[in-house]
Amino acid sequence: MLFKYLSFLLFVFVAVLAEERDVLELSDDTFTSELEQHENTLVMFYAPWCGHCKRLKPEYAKAAEMLLGNDPPITLAKVDCTESGKSTCNKYSVNGYPTLKIFSGSDFVSDYNGPREAAGIAKYMKSQVGPASKELTGESCLKSFLETDETSIVGFFEKENSPLATAFHAVTKKLKDKVRFAHTTAKSLLEKEGQKNTIVLYRPKLLQNKFEPNTVTYDESMGDIQEFINKNYFGIAGVRTRDNSADFTNLPLVVAYYAVDYVKNPKGTNYWRNRIIKVAKDFPKLNFAISSKDDFQHELNDFGIDFVKGDKPVILAKNAKNQKFVMQEEFSIEAFETFLKNLEAGSLEPYLKSEPIPEDNTGNVKVAVASNFDDVVTNNGKDTLIEFYAPWCGHCKKLAPVYDELGDKLANEDVEIVKFDATANDVPVQYEVRGFPTLFWVPKDSKNNPIKYEGGRELDDFIKYIAQHATNELKGFDRKGKSVKPKSDEL
């Protein structure tokens, strides 16, 4: 038994070593001399006890393996800030873990602000070194460049300084972090490809399908080059990941969530993607994507879905007004098509994440939830101060007694004091809530134009603000927020 246990520990130890064999270990003594031997290096400054570091390490090791043989070369290295690399970490002002920085030789270039997944790290680092667009000198160069699982853009120019080439290179510098670019002026390659003064978008074999062309060629009638790339880059249904989700912001957006995995199951992943595309191609006014149900469980939760059963995609959508919709039927070509027709027609009932409406809402601080927001805020006929909070937020907890006292102070005024749990309810689109607590002043005659409250958080601060901005002067306070006797008592 002991032998088996020791054998297991040895296996784990060897596996860990194998995972990190491509990551260079640096110390105070070797940092500068080692970096001078490498053209481009990404350095992770870490602490062994750091949980975020432990999660990043296997992804970092995979990225190092993926970058082997890259041209120009890219090295991944690490420094233990608690032991052999203390001085180096102090030198580069490392005060949090993990911290990643990019070096050219031993010279610091910039902080790393890219993804924290293997593929994302590799792609980001490739974009940071060398030219924004790779020059292709012949057919073999093009073939090698296109041997990738990423969409690629290639410019074919008769002259390097032509207006189209100049515009192309300007775009490559803007988008080099996200897109693979190459260009050529080689006559043999222009003749072989049948391209002259054009830009071609190539879809990788992994994402090719019978419903859309494998290549898309730009011509000047398509307008701006960057717009051409943005429009065509992801195809009819883009593969939406945690790293690129910010690129899928155009509404309306329809997303299919299922076991998307192009590493372990590319065939199964494309089986469902192709069915999505088959229907989606007939709805050009909508935007489409596929996403891993595991990577985006938080989004599923926001649509009231705690667990996805089976293999079939779950379809969620947002319309141009940012309203949310769920396809209730099990996925099929027919059900999906019907859902999209109803979405475009505006005949679907939006999904609203909401707590139950409070049975008793007679307190001086009213409780709004998504389901009763119109009654409590929009249509209450009063000026309203509303706080969007999170139950776990320390600043919100500190504000709570002040806010309750404010409600009591203004109980007899033509003003409503309201609170809203923004973690358990969908926030109305006209309220931009990015942190907690966020407060808005909502005049009773201008409910569609809430004003973000930027004042102090003490009781007097709130009273002075409300007294000044109230549509009608308060009964118990003048416009400067000073307490006054009600007119009924003036005798």
Q: Identify whether the C-beta of residue 292 lies closer than 8 Å to the C-beta of residue 261.
A: yes
Is-catalytic flag, 81?
Answer: no
Give CA–CA dist 471/443, Å, rounded.
Answer: 7
Q: Does residue 141 have an active-site annotation?
A: no
Angle between helices 266-280 and 333-345 in degrees, nearest 10: 40
Q: How far apart are CA 55 and CA 49, in angstroms?
A: 11
Pairwise CA distance, residues 25 & 41, whole Å = 12
Through-space distance between the first and last CA atoms of the chain, rounded to whole angstroms: 96
Residue with tokens 């099929």, as numbered in its chain? 332
**Can you tell me the distance from the alpha carbon of 233 to that of 263, in angstroms, rounded to the nearest whole number?**
21
> Residues with Cβ < 8 Å from 171, sequence gap 6 or more?
225, 226, 229
Largest alpha-carbon pair distance within the chain? 101
Active-site residue, selected from the candidate residues 53, 81, 89, 141: 53
Whose CA is closest to 46, among 25, 32, 70? Answer: 25
Q: How many CB atoms lie within 10 A of CB 172?
A: 21
Q: Is 53 a catalytic residue?
A: yes
Nearest of 117, 21, 14 to residue 78 by alpha carbon: 21
Hey, which residues are catalytic here? 50, 53, 393, 396
